[in-house]
Amino acid sequence: MFYLVCYDIVSDTRRNKVSKLLEAYGLRVQKSVFECVLDEKQYQILSQYLMRLVNKREDQVRFYPMSAHNRCKVAVLGTQPEFLIDDAAFIV
């Protein structure tokens, strides 16, 4: 499944840890937004790691599942990543 993962982390230290973790699972497309292709097990593991890192009273991480139908409708204005992420090309 393809996910758009967005976060709002208050602490610089926690934000850096979350960012490094997400870089291992997907492609950064904006400062606090990642595109990740995750199977169910990867989603569960990533969610568990994130729950340990974030402060539930101050921080927020959101996973937006995107179907292939909606992915092809994404419009990007301005600069784009040098490559696209898809199920066949991105392996964790």
pLDDT means over runs of 10, the chain (92 residues): 96 97 95 95 97 97 91 81 55 46
Name the phi and psi angles at 68, rounded to 5: -60, -35
pLDDT confidence of residue 68: 82
Cβ(32)–Cβ(7) under 8 Å? yes
pTM to 2 decimal places: 0.82
Domains, in order of start, for the chain: 2-71 (3.30.70.240)
Is the Cα torsion angle 13, 91, 49, 83 positive or negative in sign?
positive
The two structure tokens encoding residue 63: 């996973």
pLDDT confidence of residue 92: 46
pLDDT confidence of residue 86: 58
pLDDT confidence of residue 81: 64
